Amino acid sequence: MTDLFDAAGALSTAYGDVDWAGTPLGPVASWSPALCASVDLTLHTRAPVTLLWGPQFVLLYNEAYAPMIADKHPAALGAPARVVFAEIWATIGPMLESVLTGGGATWVEDLPLFMDRRGFVEETYFTFSYSPVRGPGGAIEGVIDIAAETTEQVLGHRRLALLSRLNDRLADLESPDELLELALPVLREDPADLPEFAAEAPGGGRGWVQLADSLAVRLSAHLRDDDVYRGFLRLVATALGHGLHRARARESERRSVAVERELSEALQRSLLTAPAQPEHLQVAVRYRPAGAGARLGGDWHDSFLLPDGRLTLVIGDVSGHDRHAAAAMTQVRNLLRGISYTLRVTPAGVLTALDDALAGLAPDVLATVVIVQIEAAGQDRWRLLWSNAGHPPPMLVQADGVAKPLETKPAPLLGTRIRTRRTDHEVLLEPAASLVLYTDGLIERRHGDIDDGLAELTRALTDRVGLTAEEICDHLLIHFGYATDDDVALAVVRAHPLT
C-alpha cells in the first residue's frame, strides 16, 4: 500500500515525526476512508489547503499552506486548531463549528485576523472557505479549508490610498510652517500603519522612524518590521520632503515671481511639442499654467505616431508644481515616448515598462498617466485602446451628443512600487465623436469635490458633438475658468464626421 504521506514533499519529515496514535485521530491505519481520501487530495494540491478533522479540528495541511502559519509549523501538524489558533479562535471557532454541525460552507474575503505566527500578534488578512467533508454515510467528519493570504494586497491598497490622499493634501502646501498642520490629519487616518507620532524618535529611535525634521512615527507592534513596511514609510517621508521642498520653493518663487513667471511658462511650453495630425482625425492640445506663482508644473500632453502608423495620445501629471516636477515630467514623458516607439506594445505594456524604468531611474517620482493608441477600425470608425495609471477617467463624447467618463477599476499611479497587473480597455470612436483627456487641475478645486467636478465636466461636454477638437479645448477652458489652483493639460481627438 502506498504511504499516505508520500506526496507531502518538504513536509514528509514533519508528517513522519508526528505520533499520530497520540493525537485525537489515532493511528493512521485506523483512519476513515473519508480522512484518507481528503489527506491524499490535500497533499496532491498545490494551492494552500488544510484539513480540520473531527470535533477537535485536528490540523493536516499541505506544503503550500505551511508558510501561511510560519512559526506555528511544524507543531501545528496533528494538533487541535483551538490550541494552534488560540488567539483567533473566537473568530474562526464558531465558523468551524457551524460547518461541522451542518450549517453549510462559509466564504470570507480579506478577513482581518490578528495572528501570533512569528512571535508577535500580527495584523493579517485571509480569503478562505470552510467546506464540510462527508463520510460514505453522509455524516460530516471534518472541514476542508481552501485559503489565500491577502495581507500584502490589503496593506498595499491601504497604503496607496494614504499616499494618494497625502500627496493631494500637500499639493496645497504654500508655507513650510503649514506642513504638519496639513499632513498630520491625513496621516492619522491610518493608525494601523502609523499608530503614534512625536516630534522626534524617543528612546534612541528604537521602534521609531523619523519622517521629517520635526515628525517621527512609532512602528506598529502588529506589523512586520520588514523592507515593505520601511519602504512605505520612506514613501511617506518622501512625500513630506517633496511637500516641504515645494513649499520652500514657492516662497522663493513668490519673491521673484515677476521675473520667473514668463520664463517658466516659456520653458514649460517648449517641453510640449505640437500634436501629430493624422489623416481623418482632429487632434488638439492645450497647456494652461496655474493662475498664480511661477508657471511651471508636472502636467503634460503628448501626441505622436508609432512606426506602424498608430496614433498615441497621452495625458499625464507628475506630482508637484515646481521646476523639479517639470524636470521629472520631461523624464517621464521621454521615457514613455521611447518605450512606446521601441517596444511597440499595448498601453498596459507601456505603463508596466515605464513603472519598471521609473523604479530604477527616478525612484522618487509619482505620476498619473492615461495612454491611448488609436488605429482605424473600418467604415470610418477608430479603435481606441487605452490604459489608466491612477489618472482621472477619459471622457467620451459620442456621436449622439452623450458624454460619459470611461471609468474603470482604479489602478495604482506610477512610482509607488506596488506591483499590479495593468489592464487595456477598448472603445470605438464613431464619426463626429470625440475623446477628451485632461489633468485634474481642470475640474478639481481646493474646496470642492472632484466627483462634483467630473459631473460638471460631463455636463459641459454633453451635446457638444458639433464642436471641433480645437473648439472643445477652448470651450472647456472658458467653462471652468482661467484662475485655477493647478496646471491644466488637455488633449482631444475627434473623428471627422461622415460627408
Count Cβ atoms within 10 A of the Cβ of residue 276 and give its class: 0-12 exposed, 13-18 middle, 19 or more buried.
middle
Select the more confidently predicted residue: 1 or 429. Answer: 429
Burial 171-187 (b: 16+ CB within 10 A, else e): bebeebeebbebbeebb
The stretch 57-86 carries a mean pLDDT of 97
The gap between the terminal CA atoms of the chain, to the nearest Å, is 81
Least confident of 15-29, 82-96, 202-216, 342-356: 202-216
Task: Report pLDDT for 482.
Answer: 64
Identify which has the larger pLDDT, 87 or 279: 87
Q: Residue 303, class by beta-carbon neighbours within 10 Å (0-12 exposed, 13-18 middle, 19+ buried)?
A: buried
Report in angstroms the alpha-carbon separations of 30 from 12, 35, 36, 101, 224.
Answer: 20, 10, 10, 23, 42
Q: Domain extents for the chain? A: 6-149, 156-255, 265-495
Q: How many CB atoms lie within 10 A of CB 19?
A: 8
- How is residue 119 written as a grid cell? 512571535
Q: Which residues fall within 8 angstroms of residue 30, CB to CB, at 6 or more apart?
A: none
Give per-residue pLDDT as tens, 101-153. 999 999 999 999 999 999 999 999 999 999 999 998 899 999 999 999 999 99
Helices 257-271, 227-255: inter-axial angle, 10-degree rounding: 120
Point out the least confidently predicted range of 237-251, 256-270, 287-301: 256-270
Whole-model pTM over 0.85: no
Chain length of the chain = 499
% of the chain beyond a pLDDT of 90 = 75
**Positive or negative CA dihedral for 271, 361, 411, 171?**
negative
Helix, strand or coil for residue 148?
A: strand
Class of domain 265-495: alpha beta
Mean pLDDT over the full length of the chain: 91
**Whether the Cβ atoms of residue 408 and residue 383 lie closer than 8 Å to each other:** no
Binned at pLDDT 50, 70 and 90, residue 261 comes out as: low
149-174 pLDDT, tens per residue? Answer: 999 999 999 999 999 999 999 998 88
Q: Which residue has the higher pLDDT, 265 or 66?
A: 66
d(CA 254, CA 257): 5
Domain 6-149 part of CATH 2.102.10.10: no
Each as own residue / partner, the long-range contacts of residues 3-12 (CB below 8 Å, 24 or more positions apart, any chain) are 4/28, 4/31, 4/36, 4/39, 4/40, 5/39, 5/43, 7/40, 7/43, 7/44, 8/43, 8/62, 8/63, 9/43, 9/62, 9/63, 10/63, 10/66, 11/61, 11/62, 11/63, 11/66, 11/74, 11/77
Q: What is the pLDDT of residues 356-393, one digit of tens each?
A: 999 888 888 999 999 999 999 987 899 999 999 999 99
Opening angle at CA 190, ends 187 and 194, nearest 5: 75
* Nearest one of 466, 472, 455, 471 to 399, comparing CA atoms: 466
- pLDDT average, residue stretch 90-103: 97
Query: What would the grid cell of residue 413 be?
Result: 499611479
6-149 and 265-495: identical CATH topology: no
The pLDDT assigned to 497 comes to: 73
Q: What is the pLDDT of residue 1?
A: 33
